[in-house]
Amino acid sequence: MDFLVLFLFYLAAVLVGGATICVCSRTSYLRGLVRGGTQVFSYIIPECLQRAMLSLVHYLFHTRNYVFVVLHLTLQGMVYTEYTWEVFGYCRDLGFSLCYLLLPYLLLVVNLAFFTLSSVTDPGAITKANELLLLQVYEFDEVMFPKDARCPTCDLRKPARSKHCGVCDRCVHRFDHHCVWVNNCIGAWNARYFLLYLLTLTASAAAVAVVSTTLLVRVVVLSDLHLETRVDDLGHAQVIDIFLLVQYLFLTFPRIVFLLGFVVMLSFLLGGFLCFALYLAATNQTTNEWYRGDRAWHQRCSQVAGAPSAEPQVYRNIHSHGLWSNLGEIFLPAAAAAHYEKKRT
């Protein structure tokens, strides 16, 4: 019982913590909390250790490196090694369908293909050669994307929905975010690959979880463990409950249960991120625009609030043109760019 309760508590804490960070990240509360925590730790941690930690954080999150790519592939390799070594073998002995057992491998191959495409595909770097063309693709909303803005680093005019990535040191067309797991920016030209990579990664984790759960349930049913009884503290016979079953399975198949706990947690985390990414795609927003949108609009409204003729305005996403058009812009970016250019001319 202790193991299951602790695991469920840990899973709930991770999910609640992730949701809280996503909600609070759009407000000044989290930034103030981080600054306050940093000041507290600055008095506790020695200065030399602070410099080392800052250097490590800068290297991991503010420079292009392959640390998270290697970590990603290592974790994926460990999961599939355990799946192959134990889960697959036990399932074959119990007569599971081979097609059913090969589904996680198929998802792995497809996922690695989209992972590679997300990593190596140009996200939409803006250069002198394509600057004028990309300036015609999207309308300027004069809120987040003013018409005459220039990038001081690249010395280029900034097309609407673009942003300079400090990690890659380039301006990216329809910039979404910089992903450390693929070591690349996510922009107009590789957003479709990243979305499919996220979808197949979630599906592969869920598939391993389903097969592992089915195996453990089959073991319980075939061994009639769910019908066994135990004697409680008062000397009464009690049917074994789910907590004792989990403890027994953990003692008998520790690696499989640990694998199941890991992929279940991963499925929830990836599923939440996937839902968020699908929401952004369906509404034709980027992560950068979602994060900056309300703040930029409030700043814009405060600037015009003093004008006597100023009326209350409601922010409208001028780039959203319906579900299918928005999804088409993700999966057919070249066709979308040609459509916008034709529409403006």
Round to whole Å and give the CA distance between 280 and 176: 10
Judge contact between 26 and 295, C-beta under 8 A: yes
| Dihedrals phi, psi of 229, to nearest 5 degrees | -120, 160
Amino acid identity of residue 168, one-letter, is C
Report CA-CA distances (Å) from 104 to 203, 205, 317: 8, 8, 39
Amino acid identity of residue 148, one-letter, is D
Secondary structure letter of residue 87 according to DSSP? I
Q: Which residues contact 98 (CB under 8 A, 6 or more apart)?
A: 92
How are the residues of the chain apportioned to helix, strand and coil, as percentages rounded to the nearest 5?
65, 5, 30
User: Hey, what are 151's tokens?
Assistant: 């990038």
User: Hey, what are 119's tokens?
Assistant: 């990593």
Secondary structure letter of residue 174 according to DSSP? T
Round to whole Å and give the CA distance between 259 and 279: 30
Secondary structure letter of residue 302 according to DSSP? H
Name the region of 124 (left: φ>0; alpha: ψ -120 to 50; beta: rest): left
| Dihedrals phi, psi of 137, to nearest 5 degrees | -75, -50
Catalytic residue of the set 165, 171, 179, 185: 179
What SS3 string covers 224-267? CHHHCEEECCCCCEEECCHHHHHHHHHHHCHHHHHHHHHHHHHH
Q: Specify whether 48 is catalytic.
A: no
Q: Point out the residues that are catalytic.
A: 179
